Amino acid sequence: MTSMPHDALVKAVFTDLENARGQLQALLPPALVEQLDWSTLRVEPGSFVDEALKERHSDILYSVRFRADPQVTAFLYLLFEHQSGPDHWMPFRLLRYDVRIWEDFLKAHPDAKHLPVIVPMVLHHGPDGWTTSKRMFDLFDVQEPIRSIVAPYLPDFGFVLDDLASKSDEELRGRAMTAFARLALWFLRDARQGTLLEHWKAWATVFSELLAHPTGLKALELLLRYFSYVAAAPGPEKLRHTLLRELGPKAEEAYMTHVEIWKAEGEAKGRTEGEAKGVLTVLRARGLTVDDAIRDRVLACRDLPTLERWLVRAATATSVDDVFAADPS
Closest CA to 39 of 59, 18, 60: 18
Residue range 278-294: average pLDDT?
82
How distant is the alpha carbon of residue 13 from its chain centre? 7
Tell me how far apart the alpha carbons of residues 294 and 277 are, in angstroms, rounded to a whole number: 12
How many residues can be counted in the chain?
329
Alpha helices by DSSP H, the chain: 5-14, 17-27, 30-35, 90-108, 146-150, 169-173, 179-190, 196-199, 204-211, 216-230, 235-247, 249-285, 292-300, 304-314, 320-324
Strands 36-44 and 117-124: unpaired
Helix, strand, or coil (residue 6): helix
Per-residue pLDDT at 260: 61
Label residue 257 by pLDDT band (50, 70, 90): low
Per-residue pLDDT at 169: 93
67 and 36 Cβ atoms separated by less than 8 Å: yes
21 vs 312: which has the higher pLDDT: 21
Mean of the per-residue pLDDT values of the chain = 85
Q: In what order do the strands lie in the sheet with 117-124?
A: 36-44, 57-66, 73-81, 117-124, 160-163
138 and 91 Cβ atoms separated by less than 8 Å: yes
Inter-CA distances, 41 with 24, 148, 275, 290, Å: 10, 39, 38, 38
Other beta carbons within 10 Å of 321: 10
pLDDT of residue 262 exceeding 70, the answer is: no
Residue range 289-299: average pLDDT?
80
312 vs 60: which has the higher pLDDT: 60
Residue range 38-58: average pLDDT?
83
Residue range 28-47: average pLDDT?
94
163 vs 308: which has the higher pLDDT: 163
Per-residue pLDDT at 313: 85
Label residue 271 by pLDDT band (50, 70, 90): confident
pLDDT of residue 235 exceeding 60, the answer is: no
Label residue 4 by pLDDT band (50, 70, 90): low
The identity of residue 76, as a single letter, is L
H or E stretch including 3?
none
Strands 36-44 and 73-81: unpaired
pLDDT of residue 3 exceeding 70, the answer is: no
Enumerate residues 6+ apart whose C-beta is below 8 A from 191: 226, 227, 230, 231
pLDDT of residue 329 exceeding 60, the answer is: no
Inter-CA distances, 105 with 44, 112, 295, Å: 11, 9, 29
Per-residue pLDDT at 299: 83
Tens-digit pLDDT profile for residues 207-222: 889 988 888 888 887 8
Per-residue pLDDT at 240: 67
Tens-digit pLDDT profile for residues 106-160: 999 999 999 999 999 999 998 889 999 999 999 999 999 999 999 999 999 999 9
Residue range 232-257: average pLDDT?
64
224 vs 41: which has the higher pLDDT: 41
Per-residue pLDDT at 237: 65
pLDDT of residue 2 exceeding 50, the answer is: no
Enumerate residues 6+ apart whose C-beta is below 8 A from 252: 244, 245
Residue range 259-288: average pLDDT?
77
Tell me how far apart the alpha carbons of residues 40 and 64 are, in angstroms, rounded to a whole number: 5
Residue range 54-69: average pLDDT?
88
Helix, strand, or coil (residue 252): helix
pLDDT of residue 233 exceeding 60, the answer is: no
